[in-house]
Amino acid sequence: MRYYQENCGLYVEMRASVFAKIQLQAMGEYPNENGGMLAGRYSSDKHTVYVEEVVVPIEKTTGRTSFVRKTKGLDAVWKTLSTKGLRYIGEWHSHPNGTTQYSPTDRNAMVEIEKEVAIGNPILLIVGVTNEGVNAHTFYCYKNNNLLKYKEMIDLRGLFTGLQKQMETSLNVNREFISHPGSKGDATEQHWINFLRTYLPDRYKVDKAIVIDSTGNVSWQMDIVVYDGLYTPFIFKQDGFMYVPAESVYAVFEVKQDVVGNIEYAAQHVESVRKLQRTSMEMVASGKRTQARPLTKIIGGILTTTSSYADNETIKKHLNDLKGYQTLDLGCFCDSGSFYVDYKEKEPEGVDAPKSIEEKRKYIKQLYESRNVKDINFSDKDVSLFTFFLQLVSYLKSIGTVPAIDINEYLKAIDEKIDEVI
């Protein structure tokens, strides 16, 4: 839990477990007020105060609209806390059936505290409580005879780890309670698809699909295909299968329960997409006609619920052994970390600013064939899901927009042609 006072550039960080203690104490005295002292420490630059303990007064007076505490009998408590590097940093008290706005009495109490204790900018936490529990709380900083309000910040790591645990739980429930291998695989794939659909921008579509090209070649069925959602002119659905044109594909992933034995398998699936014959033609952007762009890389990876490898060295070896179209860019093992591969890539010789589609295909093939692993990076296991996601978003941004499809190349299959000139 993190809070910010923008006028002074000050922060407060409080452990959730500390706030839980305060909630229990506030509800325990309801409908009377309750309170106590806060113990913590300051950052080296004094801009952040960390609330790490609640000190309960031995002597106190409580009422519906008042709370007074004494410091008597707490010497041993503060001595123990000091051995942990903790010190007095401020106060908290509750407002039963009231707001968390401070009163003149609250401000006067902080004035006296600053006089008595050698501390700069002591903090005050006011907790609103009803018969149903704590419904609000506000931190204040006492500075220059005023109480300045902190605003609550979003705990990004908390959000990330919360979503991580939710995803792990869903995947593990599938693994434990769905016995049929095919059904288990389908359910796992759907969880990954739903995650990407929820968090990727709307310009990207996510489905299980087979990728096709204008010559009639097809990829293996891909567990996850991330493809263009704005300019893709046609997507076929037949006999329960979805077919997506190769030009529209940004990324493909293979989904498995565990990574062991599946890196090469995923690489072969990725290769089946990358080697398809893509087209590229002129397009109109912002009212201006632009030249056909070079073929873009297709991101390839693997997603699993677990990794049974003892360490990452075996994974690195498998990734290092992949060559050309089979090279993988990134992946996520939900219980143990995500990875991305940093490649050295050599600009193909003899292909200067490729113009024809044949040159463009030769260029992208030689670029993949030149790949050599420079480094393989693994994330912390507690945030594997979001480090994978943010790395994917970064790669997607670097691609921009996929090449425009030459529809007439597909119409050759039925001996037809359209006029694409505006």
Superfamily for domain range 2-153: Cytidine Deaminase, domain 2 (3.40.140.10)
Q: Kindly state the average pLDDT of the residues 321-331.
A: 96
Mean pLDDT of 116-143: 85
Which of the pair, 339 or 5, is modelled with greater confidence?
339
**Model confidence pLDDT, tens digit, residues 67-106:** 888 888 888 888 999 999 998 888 889 999 988 898 888 8
pLDDT at res. 259 = 94
Q: How confident is the model at residue 176 (pLDDT cuts 50, 70, 90)?
A: low
Query: Quick one: pLDDT band at residue 327, thresholds 50, 70, 90?
Result: very high
Query: Which of 33, 106, 247, 256 is the catalytic position?
Result: 256
Catalytic one among 29, 189, 223, 409? Answer: 223
Residues 363 and 347: beta-carbon distance below 8 Å: no
Domain chopping of the chain, boundaries: 2-153, 159-414
pLDDT at 256: 94
- Residue 110's pLDDT band, with cuts at 50, 70 and 90, is confident
At residue 351, the pLDDT reads 56
* Greater pLDDT, 168 or 103: 103
- Maximum mean pLDDT: which of 211-225, 355-369, 381-395: 211-225
> Is 254 designated active site?
yes
At residue 421, the pLDDT reads 59
Res 420: pLDDT: 63
Confidence of residue 213 (pLDDT cuts 50, 70, 90): very high
Position with higher pLDDT, 244 vs 359? 244
**What pLDDT is stored for residue 196 in this prediction?**
92
46 part of the active site: no
Q: What is the 3-state secondary structure (H, E, C) of 330-354?
A: EEEECCCEEEEEEEECCCCCCCCCC
pLDDT at 359: 86
0.75 exceeded by pTM: no
What is the average pLDDT across 397-414?
84
Least confident interval from 155-159, 253-257, 259-263, 374-378 = 155-159
The one catalytic residue in 254, 271, 329, 409 is: 254
